């Protein structure tokens, strides 16, 4: 039996925009209403813990009301006929809710907390959305959102880059390609023949991409199902 094509889908906040979750850098984005220094840096957690915990509590509470959109669902459905891996910058779990079984979260996960002392001590928030200020792990240390803050390492990047190197096709959905090292993943494809598909109503900076690039200037909920159907036809 012919081996299934390996398709890597690299997503950003735009793939969840059609589920009603704000992106970061669009006009109505999160960073238009909050300062990164106040809620998404190690210094903020140290100097203003309550504000950081509240920020992620609010985002977690909001995420519980959101559902996967047709973009997430089409990506998950691709697993029927391709070897699919999702690498997301998003901290929501909408890819998993849509049925994707291989999801790498580069920037952490909203529904998880971890020890401030031992980064391997990670806890699921099984019910509700609230982390209390003084919650501690079994190591006695305070817990923090399991989120990669600006200025912190991206531990999953090495795995993600190896996954992209294996891709036969790279699909990029809803990311401004503004944040590194995540954005550099588009350059980890094994050679310049690997086709790259970009689905975004905006125009992220793809000027340095040398691979065959197809830009579908559509919202994810429209463009992703279109592309998935096209690829299914081509690859069957
Ligand atoms: N469908 C698809 N893409 C969309 C949609 C939509 N409905 N609406 C907006 N977009 C696109 C925008 O055009 C933009 O290219 O989604 C992208 C959103 O870019 P950002 O807001 O910068 O989000 P992202 O690229 O995921 O940010 C990367 O920055 O703040 C950090 O850690 C955070 O993971 C995040 C990282």
Residue-wise pLDDT for 130-172, tens only, equals 999 999 999 999 999 999 999 999 999 999 999 999 999 999 9
Catalytic residue of the set 72, 105, 107, 146 = 107
Cβ-based neighbours of 73, under 8 Å, separated by 6 or more: 98, 99, 225
Residue-wise pLDDT for 171-216, tens only, equals 999 999 999 999 999 999 999 999 999 999 999 999 999 999 999 9
Q: Give the chain's radius of gyration (CA, Å).
A: 18
H-helix segments, the chain: 14-17, 30-33, 36-39, 42-47, 49-63, 70-77, 94-98, 157-165, 220-235
Pick the CATH number of 22-65+111-147 from 3.10.129.10, 3.40.50.10470, 2.60.40.420, 3.30.1600.10: 3.30.1600.10
CA 176 to ligand 1 centroid distance, Å: 5
Atom 9 of ligand 1, residue of closest alpha carbon: 14
Which of 92, 98, 160 has its CA nearest to residue 129? 92
CA 17 to ligand 1 centroid distance, Å: 8
Residues of the chain with CATH 3.30.1600.10: 22-65+111-147
Q: 104 near 85, Cβ under 8 Å?
A: yes
Measured from the CA of 23, which atom of ligand 1 is nearest?
Answer: 21
Overall pTM surpassing 0.95 (yes/no): yes
Residues of the chain with CATH 3.40.50.1220: 1-21+68-107+154-236
CATH code that applies to domain 1-21+68-107+154-236: 3.40.50.1220
**Counting Cβ atoms within 10 Å, is residue 104 exposed (0-12), middle (13-18) or buried (19+)?**
middle
Active site annotation includes 72: no
């Amino acid at each position: 039996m012919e081996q299934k094509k390996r398709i890597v889908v690299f997503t950003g906040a735009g793939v969840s925009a059609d589920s009603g979750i704000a992106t970061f850098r669009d006009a109505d984005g999160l960073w238009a209403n909050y300062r990164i220094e106040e809620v998404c840096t190690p210094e903020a957690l140290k100097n203003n813990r309550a504000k950081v915990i509240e920020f992620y509590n609010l985002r977690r509470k909001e995420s519980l009301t959101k559902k996967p959109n047709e973009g997430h669902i089409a990506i998950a459905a691709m697993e029927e006929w391709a070897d699919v891996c999702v690498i997301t910058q998003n901290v929501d779990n909408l890819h998993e809710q849509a049925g994707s079984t291989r999801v790498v979260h580069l920037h952490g996960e909203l529904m998880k907390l971890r020890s401030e002392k031992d980064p391997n001590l990670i806890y699921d928030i099984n019910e509700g959305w609230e982390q209390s200020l003084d919650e501690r792990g079994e190591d006695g240390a305070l817990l923090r959102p399991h989120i990669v803050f600006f200025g912190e390492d991206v531990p999953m990047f090495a795995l993600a880059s190896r996954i992209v190197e294996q891709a036969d096709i790279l699909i990029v959905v809803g990311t401004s390609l503004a944040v590194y090292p995540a954005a550099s993943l588009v350059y980890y494809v094994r050679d310049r023949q690997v086709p790259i598909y970009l689905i975004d109503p905006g125009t992220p900076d793809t000027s340095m991409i040398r691979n065959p690039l197809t830009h579908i200037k559509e919202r994810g909920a429209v463009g992703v199902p279109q592309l998935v159907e096209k690829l299914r036809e081509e690859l069957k």
